[in-house]
Structure 1
Amino acid sequence: MLRKLLPLLLSLAAFLGGAAGGEMLRGSPIETGAAAEAAAEHAEGAEGGHEPGAAATPASHGDAAEEAEPVAGAHPAGHGAPSGDHGSSAGGHGAEEVPATAWFEFPQQFLVPILYDGRLDSTMILTLSLEMPGTARETVHAHEIKLRDALLRQLLIHANTGGFDGNFTSEAQLRKLRASLVTAVRNVVPEISDVLIGDIGRQER
């Protein structure tokens, strides 16, 4: 009897085992698909969360760049101001400065004839310059002809009174000559301070 039932029991066990195995196989794909969908959703969520962060980062850098722009714009302006100061300073240096002391040399020498008994004996040759404050330079230039006339007149007086006789280069004679010449030019331009004798010589006939 047992031998007859054993094949049936084995067949039933095999059937039940196959059914159970099929159910297990069916459940596995479902679970696997659900897990895959969950993983995909998780990945999408992760990507979605990362994108805003990534987008926010450039935005923050963009804001920083926009905030930096006014500072960068203000920097050249700051440098521009000293540039203007230098320009005004350069303009100040460009203005002509008036020297404290100036000199004027007559372009032509003074020729003074020395006469004896109405005859020309020799000729004195002098180179003269004028010393003055810088502010009087233009005035002296404007009165050059009058100053030359005043000097020549005084040189003739000096020659006719014997000032060029003998040792006319002695300190006493030159001091007297300068004093008379200074007085003559100050009658034309009072600001003149001195008359300088650059050259003095006597040319015999």
Structure 2
Amino acid sequence: MKKILIMLIPVLALAAGSIGGDMLRPAAKANAEGAHADGSSAADATAATEAHGSTDTGHSEDAHGGGGHGGDGHGGDPGAAAWFTFPSQFFVPMMRNGDMGAMMIMTLTVETTEADLEPMKQQEHRLRDALLRQLMVLANTGAFDGNFTAEARLRVMREGLLKAAQDATELSVDKVLIEDIARQQG
């Protein structure tokens, strides 16, 4: 019973943290959209969109969450940069000697073009599988051991993720951005 509780507590904490994070995310998005709707100044709107990582002013923050202008008739440049953020985080177990010593939790975003944004949403599962497969390889080769946030390690990680994403789809994949990264001890 004691062994089960020891394994169950981190899993429950991880689940509670994920649910809490998802519950807080829409509130931040609603606040940014509310700033646009209530007639705030252009500087306020620009600051709100830059805080979310988008330079598109005057539209909802759908571009950051995987939206963008795509083919929705807003007249955006189909070759302009757009970002697809995976709706859920990546959980990568770090196994050592048959035991899960820790878990990496990551939020990834793929930089593409507006023309490829909608087709990329349709291929989300294929891309997710390819990226998770690459993250497992990285975890098993020690990429997350020690100081995994050193620029040299992050560069190698981004390059591997970019190659995996490009191999998984024929759509334009310019970069894989690591938005959040954390290691939770198991």
Structure 2 length normalisation: TM-score? 0.58
1:139–1:189 contact (8 Å) kept in structure 2: no
Q: 1:204 and 2:185 equivalent?
A: yes
- Give, in whole Å, the separation in 2 of the partners of 1:163 and 1:95: 43
**For the residues of structure 2 that align with 1:204 and 1:171, how far apart are their CA atoms?**
22
Instruction: Give the alignment partner of residue 124 of structure 1, picking from 98, 104, 107.
Output: 104
Structure 1 CA distance for aligned equivalents of residues 117 and 87 of structure 2: 15
Residue 74 of structure 2 is aligned to residue 96 of structure 1: yes
Matched residue type, 2:174: S
The answer to whether 1:171 aligns with 2:128 is no
In our comparison, the structure showing a higher alpha carbon Rg is 1
- 1:106 aligned to which of 69, 75, 86: 86
Runs (4+) off by over 2 Å: none
Change (3 A) 1:98 1:188: farther
Q: CA deviation at 1:189?
A: 2.4
Write out aligned runs for 1:114-193 (5 A).
114-190=94-170, 191-193=172-174
* Distance in 2, Cα, partners of 1:176 & 1:97: 37
- Cα distance in 1 for partners of 2:136, 2:73 equals 43
Instruction: Give 1 or 2: higher helix fraction.
Output: 1
Aligned residues: CA RMSD = 1.3
In the alignment, structure 2 segments of 5+ residues that lack a partner are: 1-71
Maintained 8 Å contact 1:128/1:199: yes
Which amino acid is the alignment partner of residue 74 of structure 2?
A: E
Q: Give the partner amino acid of 2:84.
A: F
C-alpha displacement of 1:160: 0.1
Q: C-alpha distance in 2, partners of 1:181/1:98?
A: 28
Q: 1:97 to 1:204 in 2, by over 3 A?
A: same
Decide whether the 8 Å contact of 1:98 with 1:135 is kept in 2: no
SS in 2 for 1:122: strand
**Runs of at least 5 residues in structure 1 that lack an aligned partner in the other structure:** 1-93
Classify 1:138/1:95 alpha carbon distance in 2 versus 1 (closer, same or farther; 3 Å).
closer
Residue 96 of structure 1 deviates from its aligned partner by 2.3
Give the drift of 1:98.
2.9
Matched residue SS, 1:186: helix
CA distance in 1, matches of 2:178, 2:83: 12
How many residue pairs match? The answer is 112
The alignment partner of 1:107 has SS state of coil
